[in-house]
Amino acid sequence: MRGKLDKWFDDKGYGFIRADDGKRLFVHNWDIYGTETIRERQRMEFKVKETEKGLRAVFVKIVE
């Protein structure tokens, strides 16, 4: 899937991605590959994992 980083809390190391299909997913910096700076509105590619707390983006790669 693809989407944009909707909100990022740098001090906490997590945020939320708005997928192209409109779903909102939790993302943790542990799940983002690469050493690039994380910024809101970046395009990302990811897989979706269902957890007991909701949808989570995993295997996340910054594509823009």
Judge whether residue 45 has pLDDT over 80.
Answer: yes
Domain positions in the chain are 2-47
- The average confidence (pLDDT) of the chain is 93
Its pTM stands at 0.89
**CB neighbourhood size of 11 (10 A):** 6
27 pLDDT band, cuts 50/70/90, is very high
Judge whether residue 36 has pLDDT over 80.
Answer: no
Amino acid at 48: V
Judge whether residue 34 has pLDDT over 90.
Answer: no
Mean pLDDT of all residues in 34-62 = 92
Amino acid at 61: K
Lowest mean pLDDT among 15-19, 37-41, 53-57: 37-41
CB–CB of 42/4 below 8 Å?
yes
* Domain covering 2-47: architecture: Beta Barrel (2.40)
